[in-house]
C-alpha cells in the first residue's frame, strides 16, 4: 500500500465532491485551481484535529470524518462565507485503506450537507491527525468580522449549547460505530452543523459574529475584545441542550453554533435566542457578576 | 502559557509578514480575508510536515520553520502561481514560547525571501507537526499543469539535484543550530528555494511542470502519467549537487527544484539543464533501460 493507492481509494469515495462549479483543476496536480467569482474576496482558515486531543482515536472513522469537515467549515459560517472548498492534510500511522474509505464517506456526507467541495490534499505517515484548510467567498469587503459589536447591540446564539460538552463529559464516544447509533447528545458532538446558510444571511444583519468552538464565554470574550466592548448576559435565556448543564453551555466547546451581535432581531432560517446585550465596559457579566472566560484552552 | 500567548509571540515575530497588499483581514478573526486581483484564479495546496518523518524533531526550530515554508511554497512554483499567502496549523506537545519564536523567525526569513505572507493559522496541542496551506494567484486558465507534456518536448530541471538526499544520508542534521553553521549539503536540505519566480516565467514557456519533492524519477513519473507520455533521460546530463550521487539525484527527494517540459530552451533567471526528452511510450528510460520510479513513499 502506497499513499497513491490510498489517494485513489479516497478520490473514488469522494466522487463528485472532489470538484465543483468553481474548480478549474481538482485533485491530481501540484495544487488545485479555483475560479473565484468576480467581486468576491477569499476567506481562508485552517483547523488541525489531532487524535486523542480533538477526537477519540478509536472513534468510528465515518464520525471522525464528518465532524472534521463541519468543525473546520464552521469558520466559513462565522465569516459569512459561501461556495466553500477544502484541502485536507491527513497523517496516518499505517496506510489502512478501509479506515480511510470510511473516513472519506463521513467527509463526503458532511460535504454534501454543507455544499462544500474537497479539491485537494496530502497524505503522509505520522500520528493520526487531520489538518483541514477551508476557503470560501464573500462579496468584497463584506466579511462578517468579530470586531463590529457596539454598545446597545443584542447578543444572540443559534441553536442550543452544551450538548457536545455533555457528551464528552459522559464519555464512551468511541463505542458508536455509525451515525445511526448516536443518541441526541452524541449527535451534538459528532454531527455538528456548520451554520453556513445562517452566516451568509447574517452578513447583512449582524454587527459581529464568531463560532462557538471553545465555549460561549471564551468565544464571546474574543468577540468583545476585538470590538472593544463587554457583554451582560441573561443566564436564564441561554438555550441549553437537553441533557447538558449551564456550565456545559457556558464553558464547553464543540457546539459550533454561531454567537453574533445585532441591533435588531435577526431573520434567519434557524432558531436563535437573545442571551444578552453589548455594553461599553469590557468583560462578560451576569447580574453584575464577572463570569470570567473559562473555556477550552489547548495547553491546559 | 495559553495558545493565545503563543499566538501573540508568533505574531510579534512575524511583524509585517502577517499581512500584505492582498490581505483585507489578517490574523485575529475566524479566518483571513484576501482580495484576489481581477482575472486571477486561486491556487491551493497543503503540506503536512511531521517531526521525525519530514524533519528531525530536535533540529533547530529556525531551520524547521524556514524549510516548512519553502517546501510548501514549492507547490506554488510548480503551478506558476504568485502573490502567495499561507495559513499554518501548528501542533506542539508543550507550549514552548522560545521554540515557537525561533520557528517563526525561520518562517519569517523564508516568507521574506519568497515574497509570501502568513495571514492566519491555528495552534493546538499534539505531536510536533506543521500543516502549511499555501495559496497564490495565476492569470485565469493559465496555471502550469502536469498534464501538458507532448512527445518531442525536452525535459528540464532547475538547479542541481541530490544534495538534500545526500545530507539526509550523511545524518547529523540536528547538530546545526543556525543557518550560518550549515555546509553546502545541509543548506540543500534546510534551505531549499521555492522557485516561484522561475515558475511564473514558465507559465509562458513550459508545457508541463512539477516540483521535485519525492525524487526526480517519481515526480517526473507523475508528470508523464498525467500527460499520457514517457521520457528518455540522458543520465550524463543530470546536474548532480557536489557531494551527492546519481542515485541521490534520481531517487532522493527534498530538493524542491522544478522539473518541466518545453519544446524550446527556456529563458529563465536560474540555471537549467536539459536532461532528456518526452516520448510517446509510457515509462522513464535511459539508454533503453527502464529506470522505474524509485522515490520517497510515505508508507514504505
Residues of B in contact with A119 (CB under 8 A): 44
Interchain contact, B127 vs A126, CB within 8 Å: yes
Average pLDDT value for chain A:
95
pLDDT, tens digit, 9 for 90 and up, residues B76-100: 999 999 999 999 999 999 999 999 9
pLDDT above 60: residue A300: no
Q: What mean pLDDT do residues B120-142 have? A: 97
Distance, in Å, from the CA atom of A224 to the CA atom of A211, rounded to the nearest integer, reads: 13
DSSP states of B97-151 as a string? Answer: HHHHHHHHHHHHHHHHHHT-EEEEEEEEESSSEEEEEEEEEEETT----STT--T
Q: A180: distance to nearest CA of chain B, Å?
A: 30
pLDDT above 60: residue A63: yes
Mutation site for A-interface testing, chosen from B41, B130, B133, B292 by largest number of A Cβ within 10 Å = B133
Q: What mean pLDDT do residues A67-82 have? A: 98
pLDDT above 90: residue B293: no
Interchain contact, A35 vs B89, CB within 8 Å: no
Q: A282: distance to nearest CA of chain B, Å?
A: 18
Residue A297: pLDDT band by 50, 70, 90 thresholds? low
Q: B206: distance to nearest CA of chain A, Å?
A: 15
Interchain contact, B129 vs A133, CB within 8 Å: no
Q: What mean pLDDT do residues A204-217 have? A: 97
pLDDT above 60: residue B3: yes
pLDDT given at position A111: 98
Q: Which residues pair with B139 in a beta bridge?
A: B40
Region of A137 please: left (phi>0), alpha (psi -120 to 50) or beta: beta
pLDDT above 60: residue B300: no
* Residue where the block lists cell 474548480: A23
Q: What mean pLDDT do residues A230-247 have? A: 97
pLDDT given at position A251: 94
Interchain contact, A29 vs B140, CB within 8 Å: no
Q: Name the residue facing A89 among B3, B48, B145 (closest C-beta).
A: B48
pLDDT, tens digit, 9 for 90 and up, residues B36-67: 999 999 999 999 999 999 999 999 999 999 99
Average pLDDT value for chain B:
95
Q: Pick the residue from chain B with its C-alpha nearest to A90.
A: B48
Q: What mean pLDDT do residues A241-266 have? A: 96
pLDDT given at position A1: 74
Calculate the CA dihedral of residues A275, A281, A286, A289 and round it to 10 degrees: 170
Q: What mean pLDDT do residues A50-69 have? A: 97
Q: Pick the residue from chain B with its C-alpha nearest to A127.
A: B127
Residue A299: pLDDT band by 50, 70, 90 thresholds? low
Q: Name the residue facing A79 among B30, B141, B226 (closest C-beta).
A: B30
Q: B213: distance to nearest CA of chain A, Å?
A: 10
Residue B2: pLDDT band by 50, 70, 90 thresholds? confident
| Interchain CB contacts (distance < 8 Å): A and B | 233
pLDDT given at position B115: 96
Helix A3-14 vs helix A97-114: angle between axes, to the nearest 10 degrees? Answer: 30
pLDDT given at position A292: 80
pLDDT given at position A298: 59
HEC-encoded secondary structure of A191-243:
CCCCCHHHHHHHCCCCCEEEECCCCHHHHHHHHHHHHCCEEEECHHHCCECCC
pLDDT, tens digit, 9 for 90 and up, residues A281-293: 999 999 989 998 6
pLDDT given at position B1: 74
Give A1 or B246, the one with higher predicted confidence. Answer: B246
Q: Name the residue facing A87 among B3, B45, B76 (closest C-beta).
A: B45
Distance, in Å, from the CA atom of A131 to the CA atom of B91, rounded to the nearest integer, reads: 10
Q: What mean pLDDT do residues A190-205 have? A: 97
Interchain contact, B48 vs A76, CB within 8 Å: no
Residue A250: pLDDT band by 50, 70, 90 thresholds? very high
Q: B131: distance to nearest CA of chain A, Å?
A: 6
What is the 8-class DSSP label of residue B59? S
pLDDT given at position B223: 98
Determine contact, residues A128/A91, Cβ cutoff 8 Å: yes
Determine contact, residues B19/B28, Cβ cutoff 8 Å: no
Residues of A in contact with B145 (CB under 8 A): 25, 29
Interchain contact, B31 vs A125, CB within 8 Å: no
Interchain contact, A79 vs B3, CB within 8 Å: no
pLDDT, tens digit, 9 for 90 and up, residues A172-182: 999 999 999 99
- All three cell numbers of A102, joined, read 470510511
User: Nearest Cα to B256, choosing from B294, B214, B223, B297?
Assistant: B214
Q: Pick the residue from chain B with its C-alpha nearest to A218.
A: B4
Q: What mean pLDDT do residues A128-139 have? A: 98
pLDDT above 60: residue A124: yes
pLDDT given at position B56: 96
pLDDT given at position B299: 62
* Fold entry, domain A154-290: Phosphoribosyl-aminoimidazole Synthetase; Chain A, domain 2 (3.90.650)
Distance, in Å, from the CA atom of B222 to the CA atom of A257, rounded to the nearest integer, reads: 43
pLDDT given at position A108: 98
The answer for residues whose C-beta is within 8 angstroms of residue B73's C-beta and 6 or more apart is B84, B86, B110, B114, B116, B134, B194, B196
Query: Where do the domains of chain A lie?
Result: 3-139, 154-290
CATH superfamily name and code, A3-139: PurM-like, N-terminal domain (3.30.1330.10)
Residue B135: pLDDT band by 50, 70, 90 thresholds? very high
pLDDT above 90: residue A206: yes
pLDDT given at position A93: 95
Q: B166: distance to nearest CA of chain A, Å?
A: 22
pLDDT above 80: residue B296: no
The radius of gyration of chain A from alpha carbons, rounded to an integer in Å, stands at 19
Residues of B in contact with A134 (CB under 8 A): 31
Amino acid at each position: 500500500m502506497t499513499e497513491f493507492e490510498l489517494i485513489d481509494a479516497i478520490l473514488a469515495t469522494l466522487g463528485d465532491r472532489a470538484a465543483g462549479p468553481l474548480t478549474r483543476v481538482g485533485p491530481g496536480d501540484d495544487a488545485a485551481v479555483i475560479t473565484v467569482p468576480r467581486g468576491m474576496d477569499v476567506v481562508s482558515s485552517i483547523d488541525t484535529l489531532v487524535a486523542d486531543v480533538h477526537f477519540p482515536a478509536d472513534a468510528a472513522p465515518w464520525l471522525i470524518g464528518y465532524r472534521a469537515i463541519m468543525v473546520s467549515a464552521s469558520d466559513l459560517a462565522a465569516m459569512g462565507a459561501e461556495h466553500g472548498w477544502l484541502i485536507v492534510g491527513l497523517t496516518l500511522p499505517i496506510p489502512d485503506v478501509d479506515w480511510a474509505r470510511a473516513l472519506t464517506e463521513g467527509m463526503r456526507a458532511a460535504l454534501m450537507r454543507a455544499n462544500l467541495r474537497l479539491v485537494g490534499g496530502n497524505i503522509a505517515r505520522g500520528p493520526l491527525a487531520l489538518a483541514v484548510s477551508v476557503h470560501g467567498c464573500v462579496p468584497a469587503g463584506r466579511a462578517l468580522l468579530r470586531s463590529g459589536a457596539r454598545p446597545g447591540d443584542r447578543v444572540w446564539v443559534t441553536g442550543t449549547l452544551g450538548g457536545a460538552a455533555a457528551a464528552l463529559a459522559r464519555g464512551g464516544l468511541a463505542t458508536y460505530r455509525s451515525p445511526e447509533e448516536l443518541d441526541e447528545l452524541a449527535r451534538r458532538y459528532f454531527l455538528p452543523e456548520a451554520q453556513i446558510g445562517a452566516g451568509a444571511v447574517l452578513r447583512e444583519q449582524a454587527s459581529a459574529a464568531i463560532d462557538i468552538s471553545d465555549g460561549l464565554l471564551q468565544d464571546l470574550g474574543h468577540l468583545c475584545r476585538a470590538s472593544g466592548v463587554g457583554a451582560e448576559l441573561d443566564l436564564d435565556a441561554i438555550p441549553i441542550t437537553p441533557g447538558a448543564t449551564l456550565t456545559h453551555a457556558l464553558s464547553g466547546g464543540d457546539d459550533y453554533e454561531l454567537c453574533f451581535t445585532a441591533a435588531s432581531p435577526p431573520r434567519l432560517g434557524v432558531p436563535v435566542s437573545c442571551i444578552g446585550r453589548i455594553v461599553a465596559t469590557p468583560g462578560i457579566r451576569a447580574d453584575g457578576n464577572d463570569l470570567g472566560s473559562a473555556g477550552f484552552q489547548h495547553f491546559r
